[in-house]
Amino acid sequence: MLVIPIKYFLISPYRSVLRYQESLFAKALAAKENNEAVNPVLIVCQHHPVYTLGKHGKMVHLLGDPSHLGAEFVQVNRGGDITFHGPGQMVVYPILDLDALKIGIAQYVYQLEETAIETLRHFEIYAERSKGHPGVWVGESKIAAVGIKVSRGITMHGMALNVNTDLSFFNFIVPCGIPQKNVTSMAEILGRKQNMVDVFSAFKYSFEKIFNVKTV
Rounded CA-CA distance 54/59 in Å is 10
- How far is C-alpha 37 from the chain's CA centre? 25
For residues 199 and 132, the answer to whether their CB atoms sit within 8 Å is no
Alpha helices, H only, 102-195: 105-121, 186-190
**Residue 185 DSSP symbol:** -
**Residue 164 DSSP symbol:** S
Catalytic residues: 176
For 120, the 3-state DSSP assignment is helix
For 130, the 3-state DSSP assignment is strand
Phi and psi, residue 126, nearest 5°: -105, 100
Strands 2-4 and 72-75: unpaired
For 96, the 3-state DSSP assignment is coil
